[in-house]
Amino acid sequence: MKIKIMLLSATIVLYVLSGVGHSQTANSINGVVFADYYYNWKNSVPAEVDRNAFQIRRYYFTYENNLTPNVKIRFRLDSEHDKYGSATKLVPFIKHAFLEWRELIPKHALYLGIAETNAFKNSEELWGYRSVEKTIMDMNKLSSSADMGIGLKGDFNGFIHHWLTVMNGTGYSTPEGDRYKKIGYALWLTPVKGFILEGYVDYEKQNPKDLQTANANSTARDYALGSSYLNWKLFIGVDRPSFSVGAEYFNRINRESGIRDATITADNTLGDYSKADVRKSGYSFFGSFITPIPKVKVFARYDFYDPNTDENVYTSFKDGKLSGSGKDNEYGLIIAGVDFIPYGGVHFMPNVLIKRYAAEGAKNDVTVRMTMYIKYDSGKIVGQ
Amino acid sequence: MKTRIVTLMLMLGLTLSAFAQEMILIKGSDTLVNLVQSLAEEYMNKNSDAAIAVTGGGSGVGIAALIANTVAVANASREMKEKEYAAAKENGVIPTEIVIGIDGLSVIVSGGIPLNSLTMPQIGAIFRGEITNWKDVGGPSMAISLYGRQPNSGTYVFFQEHVMGNKDYSPKMKQMNGNAQIIEGIRSEKGAIGYVGIGYLFDENGSVLPGIKVLDVARDKDSKPVSPLAKENVISGLYSISRPLLQYTNGKPKGTVKDFIAFELGPEGQKIVEDNGFYPVVGKYMEKNKKAGL
């Protein structure tokens, strides 16, 4: 597989460098790399304290080809180091492989393939520091940043925009596992330049008795045992030349993926119980500012996440014990850092992440990092 | 001994400071390059301490350099795009837009073409390759040969957006490096058409260069054709393809850069703008410049 990917990458490079192309064709190779050195100064898990490493957190290798001004293909490889101590080597896999067809419907673009999703694209762009941390819904795996399916994105009159997706719902790295599809819809308004107000909702039905769904359970997704899931969120943002600020709130319901009023038998098996919905919610505030010091920006964020809002609902039963209840399981996350940009596309970002758990007696996680972000772009090098 | 060391350090310091003279780098639009070079030369004549280097490459190249924080000023014959603003912000750059002159982007044809005007829709159709023979727009039966700029040119983008309805250029269009090359191409070929900044149309005496004809342009078939050669037509916006000539800086201009731009916008600078065949800044553009602290 790796050899195939390497051969494919080499073919693409040779194709681009050979200058093959129509006079109106524009090809480019671009991408980003972000890596960091991190040090766990404090951690709620004792074994994690003092852990430190250099790590590649993401490597994107993207090839884009504008077949015509309205038709583009994108192929993007994605790679990152596995978790600390893993024996898994750095392996590239496909993040994007799609056809973008603009103006098939006026003022709209159609996406076919493994493409970006609409759950948090706008908030991620406003946050602008994906290299430091994913936005709250992405970080907590409430939706994937890319998926396989169909998307339609456009605007009606310049300030009402929308984006519909019909996707597998399994993310970009795993195949479909059931007969149902995830439907997502984002609607956002930009009544004045630099201001955005967005509402988003997605839904996917699931059937635990469905054989295909049963296979999907092996992926250990928390909603796999439920009958459906639904996310909704609100996002508001202000984007000015010298600063950006944003806030988002989301809520998720995993229908019948939890249990309540459970009894445990003498032989430590699950007795009577009622099925229950598991609700999750969270909010995030973030901002970044260009400072008066040349080439220096600062950024900060606060997240609050509650993975189960009901303390009487449990999400797991193992070895005779119920766990995953909503009691004291929330956490707050503070992120702050400085962005030094010595040259366009090169960023050095010392930053700190402080995670504060609600559980009594739990210690905070404090991680300090030096994150490096590099953006590269071959430009439009063919036929121009 | 101490005195010698101090003297040596002072000499070294003075030498280094001489080398450390601030060089203002200006890059971008080929439409503006000659004009801004003229402005820089005159400014440096009056300010012997100033050092300004002006290069072309196209508006896109200049804007990319500003975004990368490698130049003090980007020359542009088009406005920055949303994506470019976003990229600038990502790099901690806050672009400030300044208008230093006005251009009547001129449609020119080979001297032998017996036409005086075209409509905007006709011009768009010609450059999209939908009309390929002069007889279809009232001219002789002769194939139309297209001359234009390269995609990194602001003029290429401006013309595409404002004249061609953002549609694609004909693949048969010859993509030239600069305005002067377009004029040379059109002068040397029968049946050719192209577009250039108005500042490139004239010889040293202020007459339109021989071998080319500047067409009047009508907004549509019901409108009266308007010439870009009349100043009032362009600065009033009556001429359909008039556009501001722009410079971008990172934040509000300061120090020598501010002083230089103030010179460009002053009486001497604006005279140089006119001497180069372009039109001076007026009206709403002056108000815009004031907001930029100029």
pLDDT for A3 beyond 80:
no
Mean pLDDT of B133-157: 92
pLDDT, position B52: 94
Least confident of A271-280, B20-29, B115-124, B196-205: B20-29
Mean pLDDT of B34-59: 93
- B229 and B112 within one domain: yes
In chain B, % of residues over pLDDT 70? 93
Give CA separation, A63 vs A90, A383, B148, in Å.
20, 16, 28
CB B201 within 8 A of CB B208: yes
Average pLDDT, chain B: 89
Q: Which of the pair, A294 or A3, is modelled with greater confidence?
A: A294
Q: What is the layout of strands, in order, in the sheet containing B23-28?
A: B51-57, B23-28, B73-76, B242-250, B95-104
Inter-chain CB proximity A296 and B169 less than 8 Å: no
Tell me how many residue pairs between chain A and chain B have CB atoms under 8 A apart. Answer: 50
Which of B61, B79, B84, B90 to substitute to test the interface with A, most A CBs within 10 Å?
Answer: B90
Q: Chain B, 154-183: which have a CB under 8 Å from a chain A CB? A: 167-169, 171, 175
Centroid of chain to Cα B47? 25
- B96 and B162 within one domain: no
Using 50, 70 and 90 to split pLDDT, how confident is the model at A265?
confident
pLDDT for B1 beyond 70:
no
Residue B30 has which token pair?
A: 């080929």
pLDDT digits (tens, 9 = 90+) for A184-199: 999 999 999 999 999 9
Q: Which of A365, A235, A347 is nearest to A299 (CA)?
A: A347
- A286 Cβ contact partners less than 8 Å away, ≥ 6 residues apart: A126, A127, A245, A246, A247, A299, A300, A301, A302, A335
Q: Chain A, 333-352: which have a CB under 8 Å from a chain B CB? A: 339, 341, 343-345
Q: Identify the top-confidence range among A66-75, A331-340, B201-210.
A: A331-340
Select the residue of B91, B150, B151 nearest A344 (Cβ to Cβ). B91
Which of B69, B150, B250 to substitute to test the interface with A, most A CBs within 10 Å?
Answer: B69
pLDDT, position A22: 39
Residues A348 and A338: their CA atoms lie apart, in Å, by: 8
Inter-chain CB proximity B152 and A295 less than 8 Å: no
- B248 and B227 within one domain: no
What is the number of domains present in chain B? 2
Coarse DSSP helix, strand, coil percentages of chain A, rounded to the nearest 5 percent: 10, 55, 35
pLDDT, position A18: 42
pLDDT, position B273: 93
Q: Chain B, 88-107: which have a CB under 8 Å from a chain A CB? A: 89-95
Q: How far is A119 from chain B (nearest CA, A)?
A: 21
pLDDT for A5 beyond 80:
no
Which of A67, A121, A290 to substitute to test the interface with B, most B CBs within 10 Å?
Answer: A290
pLDDT for B126 beyond 70:
yes
Using 50, 70 and 90 to split pLDDT, how confident is the model at A340?
very high
pLDDT digits (tens, 9 = 90+) for A267-324: 888 888 888 999 999 999 999 999 999 899 999 999 999 999 999 999 888 888 888 8
pLDDT, position B19: 46
**Structural domain for B49, as ranges:** 2-102+244-291
pLDDT, position B142: 94
B12: domain CATH number is 3.40.190.10
In whole angstroms, how large is the CA radius of gyration of chain B? Answer: 22
Residue A376 has which token pair?
A: 């590269």
- B269 and B214 within one domain: no
Inter-chain CB proximity A343 and B70 less than 8 Å: yes
- What does the DSSP assignment read for A217-276? HTTT-TTTTSSEEEEEEEEEEEE-SSEEEEEEEEEEEEEEEEEES--B-TTS-B-S-EEE
**Is residue B150 less than 8 Å (CB to CB) from chain A?**
yes
**Is residue A69 less than 8 Å (CB to CB) from chain B?**
yes
Q: How far is A242 from chain B (nearest CA, A)?
A: 6
Mean pLDDT of A30-39: 95
Cα-based torsion angle of the residue sequence B81, B87, B89, B95 in order, rounded to the nearest 10 degrees: -40
- B98 Cβ contact partners less than 8 Å away, ≥ 6 residues apart: B246, B247, B248, B249, B253, B261, B265, B288, B289, B292, B294
Q: Which of the pair, A382 or B65, is modelled with greater confidence?
A: B65
Inter-chain CB proximity A344 and B169 less than 8 Å: no
Inter-chain CB proximity B69 and A341 less than 8 Å: yes
pLDDT, position A153: 97
**Is residue A264 less than 8 Å (CB to CB) from chain B?**
no
pLDDT, position B167: 87
Q: How far is A37 from chain B (nearest CA, A)?
A: 22
Inter-chain CB proximity A241 and B89 less than 8 Å: yes
Average pLDDT, chain A: 87
Inter-chain CB proximity B91 and A296 less than 8 Å: no
B chain contacts of residue A26, beta-carbon cutoff 8 Å: 151
**Is this complex's ipTM strictly greater than 0.85?**
no
Residues B80 and A48: their CA atoms lie apart, in Å, by: 48
Q: Which of the pair, A162 or B274, is modelled with greater confidence?
A: A162
**Is residue A320 less than 8 Å (CB to CB) from chain B?**
no
Which among B235, B253, B276 is the end of a domain?
Answer: B235
According to the 3-state scheme, what is the secondary structure of chain B? CHHHHHHHHHHHHHHHHHHCCCEEEEEECHHHHHHHHHHHHHHHHHCCCCEEEEEEECHHHHHHHHHCCCCCEEEECCCCCHHHHHHHHHCCCCEEEEEEEEEECEEEEECCCCCCEEEHHHHHHHHHCCCCEHHHHCCCCCECEEEEECCCCHHHHHHHHHCCCCCCCCCCCEEECCHHHHHHHHHCCCCEEEEECHHHCECCCCCECCCEEECEEECCCCCCCECCCCHHHHHCCCCCCEEEEEEEEECCCCHHHHHHHHHHHCHHHHHHHHHCCCECCCHHHHHHHHHCCC
pLDDT for A150 beyond 80:
yes
Q: Identify the top-confidence range among A13-22, A120-129, A317-326, B103-112.
A: A120-129
pLDDT digits (tens, 9 = 90+) for B215-254: 999 999 899 999 999 989 998 889 999 999 999 999 999 9
CB A60 within 8 A of CB A32: yes
Residues A289 and B83: their CA atoms lie apart, in Å, by: 18
pLDDT, position A247: 98
pLDDT, position B166: 85
- B64 and B141 within one domain: no
- B25 and B68 within one domain: yes
pLDDT, position A10: 53
- B231 and B272 within one domain: no
Nearest residue on chain B to A289, alpha-carbon basis = B92
CB A215 within 8 A of CB A209: no
pTM for this prediction:
0.80
- B279 and B249 within one domain: yes
- B134 and B121 within one domain: yes
- B216 and B114 within one domain: yes
- B110 and B98 within one domain: no
- B222 and B175 within one domain: yes
